[in-house]
Chain A
Amino acid sequence: MADADEEAIRATTTEAPQIETDLSDETQDFRLLNHLNFLSDTSSASLPRRGEKDFEPNPTEFQADVLSASRGAMHNALAHPRIHHPKTQVVGIYAPDGPTPPPQAMVDEKGLGVSSDYCVCVPVPKGQYFKTIGQADRWNRVWLLPEEAMYLMERGSLDIKWPRELSGIDADDVNEPLIPMSLQAAYACLLGRSGLTLERYTVFTGLRRLGYAVVRASGWDDNAQAEDSKNEINKHAYTEPQQRGPGLAGIIGRCFAWLDDPFGTSSTAAGPIVGCGIHRNYTDVYRKLATIPWYDPAKAETRDPLDTDAPFRVIFHVYKPSTPIKKSAWPTPDFRIAVVNAREQTSIPTLAQIGALLESTPLDPPRGEKMDRLMYMRLRHGYRNVVLAVVDQGVTSFLRISDAAFGKEKLYENKGPPTGPKRGGNFRPKKR
């Protein structure tokens, strides 16, 4: 059989899902959480095996019982309260009007040093989270962005209170306890503040839960414009078909070109491009065939991150859990993320949009011994890259997009059988 791809089709369904699926793709049975259950007795729990679901409903009580048990488990898991032990409790206070100085303090011309996007104040910050979250003011209070405050509250690590002024308490009454904000109140008051959409929050919190540090990038503000806009496509990044160079090699080359095709049969106007003569080798043939301009990302100028078209601009810088972080000087991010609401931006980006987005990221060419050896890997890695987080009603789909630059890989120069990785990065030469 001549077409190896037919085999690939057969092999697919058994292996591919493991490569590409994520546990969070499917609704999992909440009975798996029964051992964590705070609200009901846990003795009944025998762990259901993952992925064991029925094909379709049937009228047995058995099935109804299992379903009801699953739903019960879900109910209990969701009803789990957020409680704060007095000893470890971290309190935040909602500041509806943005950062303000402490009551007694005087503010000089230097101001607070905290942007007006921050809206929850933590007077006594303690705990590990503040290593990558929040910004301190001159009085060692930490201010939180709305997404940071909501995330900490959701995970049960922050007790946000309504401010006194709002609940109408006399400011002198210091001993009077404050009313805690509910989860619902936090969403109602913090979402929509300073450009925080639910989609952006969903991406932020999804990555934070996995241990990534996530910070806003300069493209956060949709309306921010670059001072100097390129506005045009990176014209000189397109590689025009090669011309023979000057010099001795060029002269000899032209000489042989004539010998190749003494009667001038080579013509790009009506063909044949390669001419009717005899070719010395295939490399020459392929070189003559290169007549279509292609984009070379290595030659493109890097753009201002704001010289992009929202939502196709980087709004989050993301750091792996292992990346050492200093809040005063954030290192180069491991990933750059643009967030798209699939219901608002319904169509995929145009070339102008995606091109500008990639040009706004730094050049990140394929490097290293492995990349040098493996062409497929180089192509997959690309020269610049970005992650698009496309959010559809609470479900996020991440796509890594990179500038591939096939034109930089002259496959015809490769001798011998293909040695590229097959089957998801399993590098071995084809068996003969």
Chain B
Amino acid sequence: MDSQPTLPVPISYISGRYLLFSIDAVTYLRREHNICGVLIGTLPQIPQQNVFLGLPLELMPEEARVLVDRDVACIVDEAKAHDGMKSLLEEDRRQYLRELESQGLHASRILSDRKDQQREQALKKLGEKVKAKAAKAADNASASSAQKDESSSVVDIFDDGSNSASRSANMTPESKLAMAITPATSYPPLPQPTSSSRILSKPEVPLSYPLFAHLHSQGYFLSPGLRFGCQYVAYPGDPLRFHSHFLVVSAEWDQNIDLMDIINGGRLGTGVKKGFLLGGPEKTREDVDSEAERVESVRAFSIEWAGM
């Protein structure tokens, strides 16, 4: 699970947005670089809800920029890269199809195994029930363990295939057909992007980038904050495990700030037990040559509504 993808991680640039499709890249960037992005895809196992979402992961341009600046990622023009499908060698194509087929067969075996297992469990449970009835004793332990088994009705797919292989003899001819698979990424069959022609320049970032980069460099995890009434939400650790501490709004140093906006921000944050953080770089884009210099000059202020 703590796998490390080959660096730099390619970030797909599609239709003006920054996306990640590789689960290893997503986990790695979250773990090692405090970048969580926003999951926007549908999870096939639970497709009818919006609470848990899946790949792809959308990155803010700010996040992509931080990663490119750290040399852990590069930006790939994905539409162009997929033109490579036209020039795929016949040999590679066949090779890829064979691979998919074997994965599909594997998946079929696992599924049919699971069915068998479920049947066995059901039988076992039935037996236990009969036994329990006979004994007329309330054996709570076995009951609860049976329940547990029931809830874990799904198993391992791509783990070792040793015992399933031995069972494949029992399979009906029908279930021998391979499952079709929709892969998450196109690599393979496409070769990893190495040619610099497909690598794009650094992402353009908004004026709020210095504040973003500053907070990120301090160890905060940042998410887009519009729904919460701010630009970024800042978490002290992985949002999976920590509540956010700050609602962040960026301003330019000489920008007028309406007092009413400060009241609103303060109330907003305090109402949900968070700080309202207002900050920005002291230097304007005209003052400096690079965004990095602006990041250096960031100052941040925390505002709390104190009631009356």
Contacts and interface: CB of A to CB of B under 8 A. Distances in A.
A, B co-complexed = yes
Interface of A: 9, 12-13, 16-17, 23-30, 32-33, 35-43, 45, 53-57, 63, 66-67, 70-72, 74-75, 77-86, 89, 151, 153-157, 159-160, 162, 166-168, 177, 179-185, 187-189, 191-192, 197-198, 202, 205-206, 209-211, 342-343, 390, 392-397
A54 B55 CA distance: 26
Interface stretch (B35-43, B67-75, B276-284): B35-43
A202 to B, nearest CB: 6
B240 A36 contact: no
Residue among A78, A343, A395 with max Cβ neighbours from chain B (10 Å):
A78
A81 B21 CA distance: 13
A192 B15 contact: yes
A80 B43 contact: yes
B182 A182 contact: yes
Interface stretch (B88-96, B118-126, B136-144, B250-258): B88-96
A32 B151 CA distance: 13
B100 A184 contact: no
A184 B237 contact: no
A37 B154 contact: yes
B154 A160 contact: no
A167 B225 CA distance: 43
B45 A160 contact: no
B226 A397 contact: yes
Nearest to A155: B47
Contacts of B155: 38, 41-42
B182 A342 contact: no
Interface string B62-101: 0000000000000000110110011110100100110010
A85 B178 CA distance: 8
A98 B230 CA distance: 41
Given A83-B181, A84-B179, A185-B85, A55 B224 contact: no
B242 A183 contact: no
Contacts of B44: 80-82, 154-156
A39 B114 CA distance: 13
Contact of B240 (A27, A33, A56, A57): A27
Given A27-B239, A177-B97, A78 B54 contact: yes
Contact of B100 (A166, A180, A189): A180
A283 B93 CA distance: 83
A191 B242 contact: no
